[in-house]
Structure 1
Amino acid sequence: MTTLIAWGNINTVFPFHEIPTAFVPENLLTLSHDTPRVKQRWQCRRLAHFLLWQLLKMAEKPTALLGQISRTESGRPQFPSSELDFNISHSGDWVAVILHNGQNGEKSAVGIDIESPSKVRPYLALLEHFASTEEIHWFQQQTNPTSAFYRIWCLREAVLKSQGVGIAKLSEVIHQPETLHIFSAHCPRGQLCFTDELPFYLAYFVNQTAIKSPCFWVWNGDHLQPQRFVHKIHYDVNTNPLKSIDFPINR
């Protein structure tokens, strides 16, 4: 099994035109409304498509799959084969993509979330809407409240996005920061990692209980350059034997 993660910035040149037109959705070919906000989001979607194209080539998978992307009932994009799954996140000018290939007919489910905050938010007030009392107490003890908040936020988004579930279910994700466990009825068993070493906060989930570390890449304007992390925070998701419930993959 292979897990690949790549990210880039829309202000870094990327040769989108090299992707065969047949593999590109029409809405990524032409920008209809040229306002700064719309243009930024359009460029983010183009970069995400470009990064996914690069990862498919790296994984030695048919790039024609780009032209076969469909959507689930919840609107989550997916490939025809359930063994191959991907997920995309963007924040500000940054974009990240995860691609996972299962094996032996095993379904894949991945989720990724990045956050590049441009301003300080009322973190405690926000947490009171979805976090547990124990989680809030842990947050109040942390020396870096910004990193702690986005750790709490991103990991929830990553596990929920693996099934195309929205942020309305944030409060239904149980996060135990002391024991590094996550529980949710909205995702299968697996593993999640969080890091604050990048220009943005990153969390990614893979529905494998024993996975090799993903390969990480950044688009540098010419090619995908390999990256390494010094420190990642690792979580087990739905793997506590006391909570051995079968969580289906809704794909």
Structure 2
Amino acid sequence: MTSPVRIIPSLLLSGDRLVKGVGYKDYRDAGSPASSARIYDAQGADELSFLDIDASKKGNPPKLDILKAVAAECATPLTFGGGINTLELASAAIAGGADKVSMTTTAFENPTLITQVAERFGRQACMVGVDVFEDGNRLAFYDHRRDECTSASVEEWILEAQRLGAGEIRISFVNREGRRSGFPIDHMRALRKLISVPMIIEGGAGNLDDVDAAFDVEIDGLILGTMLVFSDNNIVQIKRHLEARKRTIRPW
């Protein structure tokens, strides 16, 4: 039986509020973390992707108190990321209510952390994020802290992260984030061939048909931000649309 596809709202934390941006810039207020979590939980979200961007970009300590408050508001599985640069912080996030931790730059800078988290909590609790920037026919490795592409190989890092213990790979298309321009299906198909663990995609969803088309690539889940926050779409509508297209979805 085909595994159910996952619809995963994005919760980007800055200060004590949620924000949403375009291309990892130009952030706008997007509401309260706890109230947004309640709404998505009630609508039937399959997971919540909760990222502390101040911790991620500025090196601030991750706001585990807000994580705990959000986790207390819903039963939906929660992934927490942003500033998770030690096993102790990963442990604190799990203890605070996260079901898994997401590491992007911290994993690349300290690859052994992937193995440590996977061995302590299981591979299913270890997500590695890869920020990519489309450069013609190739994907460039993007460093969000420096706001620039690097010479690192996207493909080689994806393979290495899995070898080290990543249980999920999240691919974020930076130049599509917040623009609702659709997904780069050809790039997604190429990456799918490299990824043997669950593959999560972020950046590009503009409408219901975009969401459906993404699952033609046999990805496992979509992280949605702008489409849920700044449009009239909601999770119930999305799941009804996917169900009508004969996708396997979780009940909501």
Q: TM-score range by the shorter chain?
A: 0.3 to 0.5
TM-score of the aligned structures, taking structure 2 as reference length: 0.33
TM-score of the aligned structures, taking structure 1 as reference length: 0.33
Q: Which structure features the higher share of helix residues?
A: 2
**Larger C-alpha radius of gyration, 1 or 2?**
1
